[in-house]
Structure 1
Amino acid sequence: MLLIGGLVFLLVCVFGSFAASGGAIGPLIKSMPFELITILGAGIGTFAMANSMSDMKHVPGALKTAIKGPAFGRQDYIDLLGLLFFFARLAQTQGVMALEPHIETPMESTAFAAYPKIRDNDRVRNLICDYLRMISMNMDDAFQFDEVMSRELTKNLKEDTHVAHGLQTLADALPALGIVAAVLGVIKTMGSISKPPEVLGEMIAGALVGTFLGVLLAYGMVGPLAGRIQSVVEEDARYYDLIRAVLVAYLQGNPAQVSVEIGRKDIPMHLMPSFQEIDTAISELSIG
């Protein structure tokens, strides 16, 4: 909602101040549709040329991400730490083979059933199961485990931020595309040089609308949108990285509760639960 509210405020301030200062809205409105077609059409074309079909398919999801914000809140981090504590404690008390019923059939697991949001999130569930499976296959070298998981998380983050990078590139190009639209308007004006000054003035004003829209779209809309997507994706990536932090701490020989506490320290400050909250959450778990 903050994204939409900011956009509305921006438009009100820009166009409202122009109208309040005595600016003529008529030529602006008259020229805007044609200038937008030129700028947005060229922008969409360049974006399509620079990205694959797979990247294009991710744009709607990225826009939804920007509007909704981060997918994980404070309680989601508490639940994840609780589930990871359960698995670490289970492996320490009953051996890594005790993990198999949970990681091979997670949809039937009583551990995952206690945390339905984690169970129903394919990426989170598969990430947990895949790396617990490695542990159950005797991958007990913490450094190697950390390297393998870090590579996957880095790869995922790079893929998830590709749309944001593409939109930022588009934002960088929009001012120049606005100039293209303005130049076309000037060419049209020069072709009508014999017309009265008031007509030429309106045509020149319409041409300058292209430059105005190119800059406004770049720095007032597309650029901030790209930054918003980037920040949301990076914040959500901290949630996945929490899994790595806890499992690596476990493989380094730390008790389950210490491993969870090490992971808690990696949570973004505004979402970090207190030690008491985590202690209360894990004390209610039944390891059986």
Structure 2
Amino acid sequence: MVGIAGVCIVFAMVFGGYIIAGGKLEIILHALPHEMIIIAGAAIGAFVISSDFHTIKHTLSDIAKVFKGPKWKPRDYQDLLCLMFQLIKARANPVELDSHIEDPASSPIFMAYPRILADAEAVSLICDTLRSASMNYDDPHQVEEVLTKRIEKTYAKAQHSSHALQTMADALPALGIVAAVLGVIKTMASIDQPPPVLGKMIAGALVGTFMGVFLAYGIVGPFASRVKAVIDEDQTFYNLIREVMVAALHNHAANVCVEVGRQNTPAAVRPSYGDLEGALRATRQAA
């Protein structure tokens, strides 16, 4: 909703101010189809040239994040801490723990949190770490280093779409100039026309420069920044898994581990101590 409101504000302020100043929209609307074919077409073509299929698909999917916002909501962070609490408690019985981490899709613990279960990376982080600990690879410092590198690799991959959008935004002003120059060439070829005709042709050429700059700094650039911000926010979910897992490998009690995770959760999505305690109490009663 905020993303939609932002786009509306950009269009309303730019074109509203232009109309209030006495500008005529019909000049822009007349030139817009041809200029957009040149500018947007060239930008999309350059994007396709510089990206592989995965990046193209990923970028198109991530544009929705501008409007949807972060994937993980405050309730998901509380659910994650409850999930981790139950799995850490299950470490006391290795046979029981193996039944959960070897087949998470059939685990009653994981099945209680379907949004987390649906995220392959989160489930893999949790299960792989617990499996390694059961194989005596349980040095907290080594595990933390491995988890950090894995999370950083996933984060770098997730950032490809924002980098691609930013590269497109950087290219749009120059492509607008290309469209404007073509318009000037067209105008010069009609130099024998009367001044009113030449004036409209020059105005149409300048629409190319305007559209290139407008799209770069008013639409695509902000989209790239927002996608990056959403990815950064979602990344804290995986960082939380690392914090709780490392605390568990230091042999802290399960409630201490989840409190470490709670304290390391950003304030905007951090569950209160009372809410988390209530949720943990409910999981104990359900067990």
* Bin for the TM-score computed over the shorter chain: over 0.9
Among all aligned residue pairs of Structure 1 and Structure 2, give the percentage whose two residues are the same amino acid.
Answer: 45
Match of 1:184 in 2: 182
Q: Does 1:87 align with 2:87?
A: yes
Match of 2:67 in 1: 67
Question: How far off is 1:121 after superposition?
Answer: 2.6
Q: Is the 8 A contact 2:59 2:160 kept in 1?
A: no
Question: How far off is 1:103 after superposition?
Answer: 0.7
Provide the aligned C-alpha RMSD in A: 1.4
The whole-number CA distance in structure 1 between the counterparts of 2:156 and 2:122 is: 17
Match of 1:159 in 2: 157
Q: TM-score, normalised by structure 2?
A: 0.96
In the TM superposition, what whole-angstrom CA distance separates every residue of 1:107-162 from its partner, at most 9, and x where no partner exists? 21111122222223323222222222112222110111011111111011111111
Question: How far off is 1:105 after superposition?
Answer: 1.4
In the TM superposition, what whole-angstrom CA distance separates every residue of 1:175-204 from its partner, at most 9, and x where no partner exists? 111011101111111111111011111111
Q: Is the 8 A contact 1:99 1:136 kept in 2?
A: no
Structure 2: runs of 5+ lacking an equivalent: none
Match of 1:133 in 2: 131
Match of 1:6 in 2: 6
Match of 1:118 in 2: 116
Match of 2:237 in 1: 239
The whole-number CA distance in structure 2 between the counterparts of 1:64 and 1:131 is: 32
The whole-number CA distance in structure 2 between the counterparts of 1:272 and 1:104 is: 30
The whole-number CA distance in structure 1 between the counterparts of 2:121 and 2:65 is: 16
Question: How far off is 1:28 after superposition?
Answer: 1.0
Aligned residues: 286
The whole-number CA distance in structure 2 between the counterparts of 1:193 and 1:120 is: 64
Deviating more after overlay: 37-46 vs 277-286: 277-286
Question: How far off is 1:76 after superposition?
Answer: 0.6
Match of 1:251 in 2: 249
Question: How far off is 1:95 after superposition?
Answer: 4.1
Match of 2:167 in 1: 169
The whole-number CA distance in structure 2 between the counterparts of 1:284 and 1:16 is: 55
In the TM superposition, what whole-angstrom CA distance separates every residue of 1:13-53 from its partner, at most 9, and x where no partner exists? 21122112211222111101111110001101111121111
Match of 2:207 in 1: 209
Q: Is the 8 A contact 1:106 1:112 kept in 2?
A: yes
Match of 1:221 in 2: 219
Q: Which of 238, 263, 266 is residue 264 of structure 2 equivalent to?
A: 266
SS for the counterpart of 1:270 is coil
The whole-number CA distance in structure 2 between the counterparts of 1:183 and 1:81 is: 58
Look up the equivalent residue of 2:83 and give its one-letter code: L
The whole-number CA distance in structure 2 between the counterparts of 1:113 and 1:248 is: 24
The whole-number CA distance in structure 2 between the counterparts of 1:175 and 1:99 is: 57
Q: TM-score, normalised by structure 1?
A: 0.95
SS for the counterpart of 1:149 is helix
SS for the counterpart of 1:284 is helix
